[in-house]
Amino acid sequence: MQHIVLVEDDDRLASLIEKFLNKNGYKVSRISDGRSAVQFILSHKPDLVLLDINLPDLDGFAVCRQIRHQFNQPILFLTAKDSDYDHVSGLEMGADDYLIKPIEPHVLLARIHNAFRRCQTNMISQQKLTFGQLSIEKSSRIVTLAEQPIELTTHEFELLWLLASHAGQVQSREFVHQQMIGREYDGLDRSVDVRISRLRKKLQDNLKKPYRIITVWGKGYLFSATAWEQS
């Protein structure tokens, strides 16, 4: 049974949506405020989030921003706001869809089904990443550069996949450290720096002036999607 988190402070509406989704085979957890939603979503990792924008203490946009880096499942904004600006803002923050209340139950169900289908398609396509002459296969953990295999440790592969799956986007040192080491960055630990250095060497990056895995000073690391045409 797929798990949906419904973040909505209108109790009557939330109850109606919950009952409807229950009848259609979904498990639903209702939350009425933004801060509780962030904690619950990150700890329980549901299959989909229905997220109202106007929430007490922390609005839906802020919730989306706080969970998106650690939550890869669909997020659907459900709101009474019919504004192009809000619509665009929501999608740019990482939401998968934007639904205007009131919404017909069968339309809501169809949009949820579509979100799950897109998510499944993305998961399949994301099992292999290709950038020029660099190929990364997730399931087999095979990495090749210019058709030559690159031997990576488990930690090195996980680091490469983390950066490559966010190609062109700066990933903060704190985020990478949390994902790789499993605890918050204390400002002193250089474990990630060492792994980055080893990864650059194996991927034939320029160690003095890296152009494939770039350190953006004061911000974090950036995997270049366009620096792999020549080995």
Q: Are both 181 and 113 inside the same structural domain? A: no
CATH number of 60's domain: 3.40.50.2300
Find all residues with CB under 8 Å of 123, minimum gap 6, and list them: none
Are 48 and 116 part of one and the same domain? yes
Regarding whether 17 and 75 lie in a shared domain, the answer is yes
Point out which residues pair with 220 in neighbouring strands. Answer: 172, 216
Q: Interior CA angle at 80 toward 74 and 86, to 5°?
A: 65
Q: Could you tell me if 62 and 92 lie in one domain?
A: yes
What is the structure's pLDDT at 215?
Answer: 92
Residues 95 and 147 placed together within one structural domain of the fold: no
Q: What are the tens digits of pLDDT across the range 106-141?
A: 999 999 988 888 776 665 556 788 999 999 998 889
pLDDT number for residue 187: 72
Half-sphere exposure of 166 (CA within 13 A, CB side): 21
List, in sequence order, every beta strand (DSSP E) within 73-183: 75-79, 97-100, 128-131, 134-137, 142-145, 148-149, 171-172
Residue spans of beta strands (DSSP E) within 53-186? 75-79, 97-100, 128-131, 134-137, 142-145, 148-149, 171-172
- Please identify every stretch of the chain with a pLDDT value under 50, giving residue numbers as ranges: none
Supply the pLDDT for residue 178: 83
- Cα gap 69→48, rounded to integer Å: 15
Number of folded domains in the chain?
Answer: 2
* Per-residue pLDDT at 85: 56
Among 125, 150, 174, where does a domain finish? 125
Amino acid 169: pLDDT: 83
- Within this chain, do residues 17 and 80 fall inside the same structural domain, yes or no? yes
Q: DSSP secondary-structure letter at 68?
A: G
Residue 151 lies in a domain: yes
196 and 212 assigned to the same domain: yes
Residue numbers of the domain that contains 83: 3-125
State whether 102 and 180 are in the same domain: no
Residues 146 and 205 grouped into a single domain: yes
90/163 same-domain check? no
Q: Is residue 141 part of a domain?
A: yes
Predicted structure pTM score:
0.55
What pLDDT shows up at residue 93? 65
Based on DSSP, count helices (H) and strands (E) in the chain, helices before strands. 8, 12
Q: What is the CATH number of the domain that holds 149?
A: 1.10.10.10
